[in-house]
Chain A
């Protein structure tokens, strides 16, 4: 279905990654020299989880309008294909740059910093409806924190971006400095589908096909939530919100049931979990609307929503330019009417503290929604 009013906050929008030469001016002389003289600039730095030519990576009509190139490469495209026709109040854009998978953590951190500078200068400076996440190279949390600190003064950065499959489960203490810095600055943690392929993308080993990797992302998100719970991240960082992007969410009921059941039996192993995990997850995890993995039948959708009890958990996402829906039907048919405003506006505001502090946004959105 179409969006019933203007003023939505889109929590998952992708910028097409630029060629390395575009990023060079944002790097130090040393790294510019290294990257050019070692021919590293010839790499596309496309993350293997999102092959450029995969149909999923760019919706065909948007791709056609871009002359076959990846959509989301220019501000004009982003405006004409997304921001203007859908009437977005805000769009939080994410730069899934392949450098997060580099083993050289200094080079990785330099790339991430260059990407963030490029996002600020080439996108945020020119379009007031855009917000962004901070790309970090999580293999070295010290360097990641330095980048968060560098960007934190810019209120247009509203989150820190991490891939759901990195070196280790994200709840582990090695990553806590990242969470500490994010919480301190009112940044949320956006965990996006994708792997740095440090590990096989499944718990049982390496896959043969890209489709296996993509479908398996939802399992990785379940692993993420289990890890954050077990490691006590929710207790350690009580003000930090985790937003799962491109995660799907219809798998959530069985995860909640199983977590609650297991907790009753093996609670003593993780005694900081002092109440049923289902309640903790509902309060601390947000889930993006796309992809929507269910039949668009209101009866079925209502049942799933009741089982998850997710009225405060879902945040609007188009996943632009990924191919998740057709035409202007940004909302799945069958989403309960009474939840639409929450999904489009209230929940995104609640998920990103830095959006709440902008009272102009709230007032304007309210006005739009009422009209």
Chain B
């Protein structure tokens, strides 16, 4: 049976930022892209690098030589080990989207008042009634 884990307060992660949490022994990176939250196992599917330690950036695209454009700024992760790029909204790698993707977890934003009814697991901090929290089910 899945358990609800409170990974932190929404205010912990600014837009364009990320936070690495450990829930039930798993390292999970949570990302705030323009106010929406996404979570992935912090383990690059290619060779196991920590995605949370990589750059959050855009995707370089081109119509041909000497045409350089950075699009979708803040929507891609670049693994610090080998440079693989992942779409934060889907977890799919840019180069091999169908077979290489970061393991995704769904993140919900829940009000502290609702969470207080339980049950939930908050391993490292206290949930306050007036706050908004990031909840991941594992």
B interface majority secondary structure? loop
Q: Do A236 and B64 contact each other (CB < 8 Å), given the known contacts A264-B96, A276-B95?
A: yes
Contact with A along B76-94 (1 / 0, CB 8 A): 0000001111000000011
Contact A271–B68 (Cβ < 8 Å): yes
Interface size, A (range): 10 to 19
List residues 37-95 of chain B with CB under 8 A from any CB of chain A. 46, 59-69, 82-85, 93-95
Q: Report how far A324 CA is from B94 CA in the complex, Å.
A: 44
A287 to chain B, nearest CB (A): 24
List residues 219-257 of chain A with CB under 8 A from any CB of chain B. 231-233, 235-236
Interface size, B (range): 20 to 34
Q: Do A232 and B65 contact each other (CB < 8 Å), given the known contacts A263-B95, A264-B96, A271-B60?
A: yes
> Does chain B have a CB within 8 A of A363?
no
Contact B67–A272 (Cβ < 8 Å): yes
Partner of B64 from the list A235, A265, A266 (CB cut-off 8 Å) is: A235
Partner of B65 from the list A263, A264, A272, A274 (CB cut-off 8 Å) is: A272
Contact A236–B65 (Cβ < 8 Å): yes
CB closest chain-B residue, reference A230: B65
Q: Report how far A236 CA is from B84 CA in the complex, Å.
A: 26
A interface majority secondary structure? helix
Residues on B facing A (Cβ under 8 Å)? 46, 59-69, 82-85, 93-96
Contact B61–A271 (Cβ < 8 Å): yes
A1 to chain B, nearest CB (A): 40
CB closest chain-A residue, reference B100: A264
Chain B contacts of A235 at CB under 8 A?
64-65
B107 to chain A, nearest CB (A): 27
List residues 124-152 of chain A with CB under 8 A from any CB of chain B. none
Chain A contacts of B83 at CB under 8 A?
264-268
Q: Do A272 and B95 contact each other (CB < 8 Å), given the known contacts A265-B83, A266-B83?
A: no
Chain B contacts of A272 at CB under 8 A?
62-65, 67
Q: Report how far A184 CA is from B49 CA in the complex, Å.
A: 47
Q: Report how far A189 CA is from B84 CA in the complex, Å.
A: 34
List residues 199-233 of chain A with CB under 8 A from any CB of chain B. 231-233
CB closest chain-A residue, reference B81: A265
Chain A contacts of B63 at CB under 8 A?
272
